[in-house]
Amino acid sequence: MAVRAGVVVTGSEVLAGRVSDRNGPWVARQLLQMGVDVAHLTVCGDRPADLTAQVQFLADQHVDLIITTGGLGPTADDLTVETVAALYGRELHLDVELEGRITAVVERWRSRLGSVADSEPLRAGVRKQAMVPAGAQSISPTGTAPGVAMADDLGTLPTVLILPGPPSELQSMWPEAIESAPVAAVLARRTSVTENTIRAYGLSEADLAATLRTAESSIAGFGDLAITTCLSRGELEMVTRYEESAAAAYSDVLALIEEHHGAQIFSTDGSTIDDIVATRSGGRRIATAESCTGGMIAARLTDRAGSSAYVVGGVVSYANEVKIGSLDVPAAMIEEHGAVSEPVAARMAEGALHRVGADVAVSTSGVAGPGGGTESKPVGTVCFGIAATGRPTVTRTLRLPGDRASVRALSVTVAMHMLADALGDA
């Protein structure tokens, strides 16, 4: 049986929308990659009663491991350790060695800030963070907040791992946390689970769902596959998790999907379109010429470490004067066809190719909205161009759905796939 986990993100600031939760999704991804099923991901405020209710709920769901994030600071509303300890019936005691380590961190910070004044409230905050439940194992802090790993002696409550809220601290403490004795004992019960990801472009969720219904009725062992699908930025992702005994069923499902949707599938090994562009670049240099996307394609390309090997540069030509002056688009062409047109997109890509000194260039010019649309070119109309050395320039026009942010994000996806196709055709 698979090991199951629940994650509780604490913080009234998260509930109020002042801070976006980065910990829950990150922890869930780490657990899934380790073969742990994440049954629940919840958010609660700083009140002890709310946290107690969340932990008790997860215990009632019979998860094997609970991970909490946040509430480990020195202030009065940082009560995660105290709250969980009370639920597990553990007394808190002062870890003197841990207190010394936290004090050293605080002193280094104060020295950098030029603060020399000592205070009882500061020392009290350090002592608070050095309080550890009886029988629990502390996780070395990278800031001032140590983590805590604790198993229930009676076996009636799940093992709990308490981690700090700042994402950088949580992530740097993660390796030690999962190697702690209480957590390692839970992870030792894992069964071997394989996770495979299929990615498609131009495939609707409804069409994939229809194929999966066919698979469900025709493929033995389909029920042993844990399949999730997600549509994001114009791409459809299907993640399947299964134990070794269901490997044949997954192979049959993959074959059926490739039979029905092979033209839309661009990856069966989990590779992203960014991976594919990088792999296919093969020493060729890429440039961008962007209007409606405002540099988002260049940002996407250069977000990848090592992208300097194939990304040369780009031009954000939001104004027509920049299209004319920096990308050599004729003013008469803009006057005749409009800035949002395939002829202009073609010349933008060609201008970037020659001005920047690239081998392949991609361009975008569109109406992202909310205003600026016309009857012939409504909001969502985007023209794309691909220019490559020694080949005819390719253009296309799409009408993309959604608000301004969606149109721009989808435009980046289209541009990345056009780049991948251009690099693959060479």
- Asked whether residue 425 carries a pLDDT value surpassing 80, the answer given is no
Query: 117 pLDDT exceeds 70?
Result: no
Of 260, 194, 199, 250, the closest CA to residue 223 belongs to 250
Q: Residue written as tokens 């033995």?
A: 220
| The CATH number, out of the four listed (3.90.700.10, 3.40.50.11290, 3.90.650.10, 3.30.70.2860), of the domain defined by the range 194-271 | 3.30.70.2860
Average pLDDT for residues 17-30, to the nearest whole number?
Answer: 96
Report domain extents, the chain: 4-187, 194-271, 274-425
Q: Is the dihedral of CA 409, 415, 417, 419 positive or negative?
A: negative
pLDDT tens, residue by residue, 235-267: 999 999 999 999 999 999 999 999 999 999 999
- pLDDT of 107: 85
26 by DSSP, 3-state: which? helix
Tens digit of each residue's pLDDT (9 = 90 or more) over 183-208 = 999 999 998 889 999 999 999 999 99
262 secondary structure, DSSP code: T
Q: In angstroms, rounded to a whole number, what is the distance separating the alpha carbons of residues 236 and 229? A: 7
Q: Which tokens hold the place of 97?
A: 């060695």
Contact 167, 195 (CB under 8 A): no
Q: What phi and psi, each to the nearest 5 degrees, are found at residue 39?
A: -85, -35
pLDDT of residue 163: 98
Look up the CATH superfamily of 274-425. Answer: CinA-like (3.90.950.20)
Instruction: Give yes or no for residue 426 having a pLDDT over 70.
Output: no
> In terms of DSSP H, where are the helices of 65-116?
80-87, 96-113
Distance CA 9, CA 24 (A): 6
Span 296-345, pLDDT tens digits: 999 999 999 999 999 999 999 999 999 999 999 999 999 999 999 999 99
Cβ of 305: how many Cβ atoms within 10 Å?
A: 7
Q: How confident is the model at residue 146 (pLDDT cuts 50, 70, 90)?
A: very high
Residues whose CB is less than 8 angstroms from the CB of residue 297 and which lie 6 or more positions away in sequence, other chains included = 288, 290, 314, 362, 364, 412, 415, 416
Q: Domain 4-187 sits in which CATH superfamily?
A: MoaB/Mog-like domain (3.40.980.10)
pLDDT at 154 over 90: no
Q: For the residues 91-101, what does the mean pLDDT come to?
A: 95
Ramachandran bin of 159, using left for φ above 0, alpha for ψ from -120 to 50, beta for the remaining angles: beta
Rounded to an integer, the average pLDDT of 166-171 is 97
- Pairwise CA distance, residues 372 & 356, whole Å: 30
Q: What is the mean pLDDT of residues 113-141?
A: 87
Instruction: Write the CB contacts of 120 (distance below 8 Å, at least 6 apart in sequence).
Output: none
Per-residue confidence band for 216, with pLDDT thresholds at 50, 70 and 90 = very high
Q: Quote the mean pLDDT of the chain.
A: 95
Q: What is the CA radius of gyration of the chain?
A: 27
Q: So what's the pLDDT on residue 112?
A: 79
pLDDT tens digits, 292-306: 999 999 999 999 999
| Separation between Cα atoms, residue 44 and residue 58, nearest integer Å | 13
Mean of pLDDT values over 416-424? 97
What pTM, to 2 d.p., does this model score? 0.83
Q: 183 vs 154, which has greater pLDDT?
A: 183
Report d(CA 344, CA 376) in Å as an integer.
16
* DSSP one-letter code for 370: S
Q: What is the pLDDT of residue 365?
A: 98
* Per-residue pLDDT at 1: 59
